[in-house]
Structure 1
Amino acid sequence: MSTLRVTAERLTIHPHPNADALELAQVGLYRAVVPKGTYTTGDAALYIPEQAVVPDPLIAELGLTGRLAGPDHNRVRAIRLRGELSQGIVCRPASLAGVDLEAAAAAGTDFAERLGVTKWVPPIPVHMSGDVVPAPDLLRWIEIENIRRHPGLFTPGEHVIATEKIHGTACLYTHVAATGEGFVSSKGFGSKSLALVRNDHNLYWRTVLAHGVPEVAACIAKTLGAERVGIFGEVYGAGVQDLAYGVDAKQATPGYAVFDVALAHAEGRQWLSAHVLPSLLRWNGELPVVPRLYDGPYDEATLLGLAEGTETISGTSAHVREGIVVRPYYERHSPILGGRAIGKIVSEAYLTRKGGTEFE
């Protein structure tokens, strides 16, 4: 799940092909359905992204009472309106009357707190939770932003690698070379520097132990001389999310695939470049890796198309593909994100599926 920000954005307006009274307002590569004639290209308006929880007064003001997702009908999610995908809400709230939205767009002002808009956090099932302890040595995972929101993240022709995004739950494992300690955590707990106390019934601990992650992390630390090694993998299967990929994580060994490795030295943290990850894991022990779907020059249309289709995990194309994660061939900094250059593209079919779960 990406960072939630509610910002003013410059709009590009497109006709709605199936509705005379509606139009499409484009923000980055996202498009949101809006009433026809409300905005013109170049206008600035507020954009409330998917996974935002909107307060009731603002919902009522926008005429969306009872029309949003979740049990309280207050969560923004992607929907199809007259055949067109609508992602997020474009609006000009009355509480921002008098605010120079054009200046706010240029400055990147975040209005989430002022409007009372918060990020939706899914509940944690019992088998994915547990007792936690402070773990300052734990290497955290990061939020991955959507390329549709940041279309300039990669330059055309830049050498990139795209891997399949698996719909599971992120499992964080950190090995500390000096003490031999190992810390296991989820994305949510890890963001607070908390580790799960060992419990052989806990989903994350079962996965780490079954796949031999501690041994591989220790081997990498010795091979590369790292003080700490973080192995980040996706745990998947029935009992984890609604897409099971032919694995029953409740009864058997949970599905697992590594998507990143980080090294920590006194100088700071280093993410391993995407092209070396599979070979590194082969040299230091056998861990499954997320499928690589593309290795070549960055082309927006190609990668948007690649995010669609069916998954390649089960070997049976049983589910829709969640999407892809795109990284540069060589790890680099992104001035657009102010951090690591990495982005995701989520498929339209995944966003609009019925009965989906989004546990962290």
Structure 2
Amino acid sequence: MSTLQVTAERLVVVPHPNADRLELAQVGLYRAVVAKGRYTTGDFAVYIPEQSVLPDALIDELGLTGKLAGSLHNRVKAVRLRGEISQGIVCTPSALDGVDLAVAANERTDFAESLGIVKWVPPVPVSMSGQVESAPDLLPWVDVENIKRFPDIFSAGEPVVATEKIHGTACLLTYVREGDRILVSSKGVGGRSLSLTAADGNLYWRAIRAHGLDGAARKLAVALDADRVGFFGEVYGAGVQDLHYGASAAHDTSLGFGLFDVAVDAGGQPVRWLGHHEITSLLDDLGLTLPRVPVLYEGAYDAELLMELAEGTETVSGAGTNIREGLVVRPAVERQSPILGGRAIGKIVSAAYLLRDGGTEYE
């Protein structure tokens, strides 16, 4: 999931092809449906992204009572309006009357707190929870921002690798060489610098042990003379999320896992993320075979091509049993992004995934 930011944005307004009274306000590469004539290109307005939870007063002001997602009808979700997908809400809340939105856009002011908007946190099933303990040595998850919101993360033609985005639950493993410790967590729990106490029935520990990730992390730490090694991946299967890819959480032997990131802390240097090919070489050299997320594309960055590639059916199962959630894009050689203020990495989520019925989003 990406971070929650409610910001002012300069709009590009284009016609709605199927509605005389509606238009599309574009923010980055997102498009949100707005009333015709409400905005013109060059105007500044507030953009409220998907997965935002709005207070009742703001919902009422925007005329959205009973129209949002969730049991309380207060969560922003992608919808299709007259044939066009609308992602997020473009508005000018009265609470910001007098605020120069052009200046706010330039300064990247976040209005989430002042508007009472919070990020939706999905409930966690018992199998994905458990006893927790403090884990200050845990290597944390990095939120992956949507390329549609930040279209300039990558430059046209830059060498990139795009891997399939698996709809599972994020699993974090950190091997700490001092004391020979294994820390295991979920994204939500790990975000609070907590790890899950080892337990036979815990989904994350089951996945770690079933796929030999603990032993692999130990070997990698020794080979790189690292103080800490972090593995980041997705645990998936029936019983985890609504998309299962032919796997199942019922038994350890059928529980799916896909590794997509490795981080290394060595020699007192900043934590380093390994590139896709570097991970491949290291695993091959050590004779380690770990399940990894499928590579969908390697080559020059082409936003339009990757948008198309995010759609379709998944390749995880080899049988196309589910829709494709999307893809994750990173540079062929790891680098920092001045736009994100951190690691250069982005995601593209498919329209089919966003608009599906009965979806689950456990962390």
Give the TM-score, by structure 2 length: 0.98
1:315 match: 318
**For 2:22 and 2:88, how far apart are their aligned partners in 1?**
15
Please give the per-residue CA displacement for 1:234-268, whole angstroms capped at 9, x wherever unaligned: 10001110001001112343100100000012122
From 294, 299, 318, give the equivalent of 1:296.
299
2:2 alignment partner AA? S
1:278 to 261, 277, 280: 280
Equivalence for 1:336: 339
- For 1:15, the aligned partner's letter is P
Measure, in 2, the Cα distance between the counterparts of 1:317 and 1:156.
Answer: 30
Q: What does 1:52-91 align with in structure 2 at a 5 Å threshold? A: 52-91=52-91
- Tell me which residue corresponds to 1:173: 173
Deviations 1:173-201 (A, max 9, x none): 11111211101100111111101000010
CA distance in 2, matches of 1:282, 1:267: 25
Q: Distance in 1 between matches of 2:81 and 2:179?
A: 56
Structure 1 counterpart of 2:299, which letter? Answer: G
| SS of equivalent residue, structure 2 residue 95 | helix
Corresponding residue for 1:111? Answer: 111
Partner of 2:244: 244
- Which residue matches 1:134? 134
- Shift of the alpha carbon at 1:281? 2.5
Identify which range, 169-178 or 204-213, moves more after superposition. Answer: 169-178
Q: Specify the alignment match of 1:259 in structure 2.
A: 260
Mapped contact 1:34–1:90 kept (Cα < 8 A) = yes
- 1-structure distance, mates of 2:189, 2:271: 19
User: Would you say the 8 A contact 1:325–1:342 is kept in 2?
Assistant: yes
Query: CA separation in 2, counterparts of 1:52 and 1:74?
Result: 8
Q: Is residue 345 of structure 1 aligned with residue 355 of structure 2?
A: no
After TM superposition, the structure 1 = structure 2 runs for residues 175-190 of structure 1, keeping only pairs within 5 Å, are 175-190=175-190
Unaligned runs of 5+ in 2: none
| Aligned equivalents of 1:307, 1:263: Cα separation in 2 | 29
Aligned residue pair count: 360
Structure 1 length-normalised TM: 0.99
Partner of 1:222: 222
Is residue 2:334 matched to residue 1:324? Answer: no
More divergent stretch after superposition (263-272 vs 73-82): 263-272
Q: Is contact 1:278-1:289 (8 Å) kept?
A: no
* Aligned equivalents of 2:37, 2:103: Cα separation in 1: 23
Counterpart CA distance in 2 for 1:319 and 1:245 is: 6
Alignment of 1:190-229 (within 5 A): 190-229=190-229
Q: Write out the 4+ residue segments of structure 1 that deviate beyond 4 Å after TM superposition.
A: none
Give the letter for the 1:269 counterpart. V
Question: How far apart, in 1, do the equivalents of 2:326 and 2:282 lie?
Answer: 25
AA of the residue aligned to 1:345:
I
Do the aligned residues in 2 keep the contact of 1:12 with 1:27 (CA within 8 Å)?
A: yes
The answer to whether the 8 Å contact 2:210/2:252 transfers is: no
SS in 1 for 2:271: strand
Q: 2:231 is matched by which residue type in structure 1?
A: I
Counterpart amino acid of residue 236 in structure 2: Y
One-letter identity of the residue aligned with 2:331:
P
Q: What is the distance in 1 between the residues matched to 2:250 and 2:77?
A: 29
The one-letter amino acid of 2:143's match is: E
Q: Is the 8 A contact 1:127 1:201 kept in 2?
A: yes
Residue 106 of structure 1: how far off its partner (Å): 1.0
Partner Cα distance (1:4, 1:109) in 2: 12
Counterpart secondary structure, 1:268: coil
Distance across 2 between alignment mates of 1:194 and 1:95: 37
97-106 vs 145-154, greater mean Cα deviation: 97-106
Work out the CA distance in 2 between the residues paired with 1:267 and 1:52: 36
The alignment yields a C-alpha RMSD, in angstroms, of 0.8
Q: 2:207, 2:252 within 8 Å by CA — same for their partners in 1?
A: no
For residues 78 and 324 of structure 1, what CA distance do their matches in structure 2 show? Answer: 18
Match of 2:14 in 1: 14
Q: Which amino acid aligns with 1:172?
A: L
